[in-house]
Amino acid sequence: MKLGMVGIIVEDMEKAIKFYECIGFPIKARYGEDYVELEERGIRISLNTKKMIEGMYGFLPESSGDKIELAFELPTVEAVDELTKKVKNNNYEVVREPWDATWNQRYAVIKDPDGNLLSLFCNL
């Protein structure tokens, strides 16, 4: 078994698309207004509206708590720093500016428009 895709529930599809395009995930496919697939270097992300998820699950998903973090590996320290700066310059939230973590990685934490935590890192 392998992880094939990460699904993210979004409030505003267009805001979510703009954010994920900003960090390097272009649209691979769009199926109506409620489902979009993004892909970069074999990493697939689906953006799903609450309406679509409610129809699939049979209940409206909750939107509270920091329950999961996606961590994206970048090739260099400079790439981590530059992408963090790009996120900030596009008025998205940087939770923690890049730092050299004790676990031997350059690390930064950002948030998408729906409040999901995303880490940007590279090995030192």
Q: What is the DSSP letter of 108?
A: E
* Residue 119 is assigned to a structural domain of this protein: yes
Question: CA 93 to CA 113: how far, in whole Å?
Answer: 8
* Residue 28 is assigned to a structural domain of this protein: yes
The predicted pLDDT at position 65 comes to 65
* Residue 1 is assigned to a structural domain of this protein: no
Question: CA 45 to CA 5: how far, in whole Å?
Answer: 5
CATH number for the domain including 96?
3.10.180.10
Question: Which amino acid does the sequence have at 7?
Answer: G
53 and 77 in a single domain? The answer is: no
CATH number for the domain including 49?
3.30.720.120
Q: What's the pLDDT tens digit per position in 12-62? A: 999 999 999 999 999 999 999 999 999 999 999 999 999 999 999 999 887
Question: CA 115 to CA 93: how far, in whole Å?
Answer: 9
Range of the domain at 105: 69-123
What is the model's pTM? Answer: 0.93
Question: Which amino acid does the sequence have at 27?
Answer: I
Q: What's the pLDDT tens digit per position in 74-124? A: 999 999 999 999 999 999 999 999 999 999 999 999 999 999 999 999 999
User: What's CA 31's distance to the chain center, in Å?
Assistant: 19
The predicted pLDDT at position 29 comes to 97
* Residue 12 is assigned to a structural domain of this protein: yes
118 and 76 in a single domain? The answer is: yes
